[in-house]
Structure 1
């Protein structure tokens, strides 16, 4: 998640889920092979799922880990709590 290219790939999947590597490579100043490596990292992290059919590999966003992170961790810092100071 700290890599800007990987975040951009996740953003693209959020905008339009189910893309091939060739579609991802357009608009990036990186080779198709470099984009594939970034996708592999996202797959290993569980953020992207791939479906291989015949000679095409399509990538899909796995929203569950992001939702869990938001629910279990981020919401702890964003919910408002009443604070009572006693002196």
Structure 2
């Protein structure tokens, strides 16, 4: 999908490092990310999770596999809460 979008938008494609992006490769804002998460959760019986909850879950899962603290810190990168 990403390859097709890169071909479609050419030089206007923004090659974001984030997993969830717009078709043009641009970053979603926090409101849009919550909408994506809610759309996925509406199809399951899971309860609501915020992006920050998912960040914590990711960190815990890494640490439970004995990942090094420095690696986890680098993987999570810098986070600026919008709440």
Please report the TM-score for the alignment, with normalisation by the length of structure 1.
0.28
Please report the TM-score for the alignment, with normalisation by the length of structure 2.
0.29
Q: Over alpha carbons, which structure has the higher Rg?
A: 1
* Higher normalized contact order (CA 8 Å, seq sep 6+, divided by chain length): 1
